[in-house]
Amino acid sequence: MTKEEEEQVPPPSEKEEEKEGGEDGEDDEDAGGEENDADEGAAKKKKKKKKKKKKKKGSGPAITVKEPTVKPPARGLKDTAFVDSYVKTGQTDPPSIPVAELFQKTQKTFPIGEIQNYTLDSQTYRTASDEMRAMDRMQEDLYSKIRHASEVHRQVRSYAQSFIKPGIKLADMCERLEQKNRELVVEDGLTRGIGFPTGCSLNHVAAHYTPNPGDDTVLSYDDVMKVDFGVQIEGRIIDSAWTVSFNPKYDPLLEAVKEATDTGIQTAGIDVRLCDIGEAIQEVMESYEVELDGVMKPVKCIRNLNGHSIGPYQIHAGKSVPIVKGGDAATKMEEGEMYAIETFGTTGRGYVIEDMECSHYMKNFYAPHVPLRLPRAKKLLGHINKTFGTLAFCRRWLEREDGGSAAVNGDKGQQEKYMGALKNLCDVGIVQPYPPLCDVKGCYTAQYEHTLFLRPTCKEVVSRGDDY
């Protein structure tokens, strides 16, 4: 048969195939039927296994380590600051992978903060002491929690530095920052979450301001804003703040406060008197001056604002770190303590008072047992206890659908008509209000803050980053 004839012959039909193989194929089918069924079943199982493997392999975003490249739009940060600094850890841009998951995937431990040796002569032995090193190793679990929270803080603030620009509404800025905080720490009620409301105090307002519902304040080019927020994991709070400005005329003010904070950190240590830290801070801070509208103004310490010790679920744990000389000469720092070293500089009078509408509240750590008559007050206290405990909260959070914690309340946590109940809780001493702290109007204030831990062998500035 030629090739052309072969192409013209139609293929045999199914019936013809059955006839051809009828007699010869019946025995083969009987003998091999069971064997073919077994082979088909095994092949299907293999396909299922392969599909499962592929699904597992493709889950979650890929980890890609990059070099940061984007500089922040604001002033007041180091030259090494990048708003995408988190990409060097393998994080996505913008950050979306929870920090614990990110470091688990890369099989790395959380970054260690800046290590500084103790400078007091009586404590220098600690660096090389085998006993102190053994004590250090015993606390690795605690250090891991603190470093985890610190890394969340660094990544959240880097992300925030990318969108903090003139024209942004402060309420939107806080909501965006706090939402990213919840995502990266994987908010879980009192176990993990935000340490306290985001402070964004402007100009003469030094601290404790965050927008209340309905506040439409917008950031402008000539504003000086203090951004102060916290992260907590199992009650271990990381408290760190920096100052945002866009006009270069404020640079000397920011530089004075930044250097004063660094001086306070360098002076701090086991057995150091708190009053000595204040004296060192004041000497540096008040060596600066700033020219505003053709007038040279001295930079002053805000003498009634302080750093503070931090305890589990307690942002102010009892010890205050002054930023001016004087004070109690007997109180010293001790091993195992955590401190927020923060300094405030001002072009005003150097003294703040409570003013404006209150936004920050916190349940008293040693709240008395008081019988409450108002049903709304009882309900609100129950909500505060399960959602915030003794951590600070704000009115914006009470009016969210989740009431401040999706993990605790789902979407049914929103508090309504709560102001009378909140006032009642404040009046009886269960909840403490923290109104904004203000210097004289027309002046400018700045703040820098870091959290440090006094380890047996050294002090670790856990919140230190490439930005400040």
Which residues are identified as catalytic? 228, 239, 308, 316, 342, 449
Tell me how far apart the alpha carbons of residues 115 and 457 are, in angstroms, rounded to a whole number.
10
Q: Is 441 exposed, middle or buried (0-12, 13-18, 19+ CB in 10 A)?
A: exposed
**Residue 219, amino acid:** L
Residue 204 backbone dihedrals phi, psi, to 5 degrees: -75, -15
Q: Is 226 exposed, middle or buried (0-12, 13-18, 19+ CB in 10 A)?
A: buried
Q: What does the buried/exposed string (b/e) look like for 264-284 if buried means 16 or more CB atoms within 10 Å of the residue's CB? A: bbebbbbebbbbbbbbbbbeb
Tell me how far apart the alpha carbons of residues 20 and 442 are, in angstroms, rounded to a whole number.
103
* Residue showing tokens 């008197």: 273
Beta strand 192-194 with 224-233: parallel, antiparallel or unpaired? antiparallel
Tell me how far apart the alpha carbons of residues 239 and 236 are, in angstroms, rounded to a whole number.
10
Helix (H) or strand (E) holding 341: strand 338-346
Structure tokens at 128: 């090389």
Structure tokens at 371: 């019988």
Cβ contacts of residue 26 below 8 Å, gap of 6+?
Answer: none
Tell me how far apart the alpha carbons of residues 28 and 34 are, in angstroms, rounded to a whole number.
11
Structure tokens at 164: 């903090």
- Please state, as a whole number, how many other Cβ atoms lie within 10 Å of the Cβ of residue 47: 10
Tell me how far apart the alpha carbons of residues 272 and 322 are, in angstroms, rounded to a whole number.
13
Cα 318–323–326 angle (5° rounding)? Answer: 85
Q: Is 214 exposed, middle or buried (0-12, 13-18, 19+ CB in 10 A)?
A: exposed
The string of DSSP letters for 387-449 reads HTTTSEEEHHHHTSTTTT-HHHHTT-----S-HHHHHHHHHTTSEEEE--EE--TT--EEEEE
Which CA distances in Å does 220 have to 172, 202, 425?
14, 10, 36
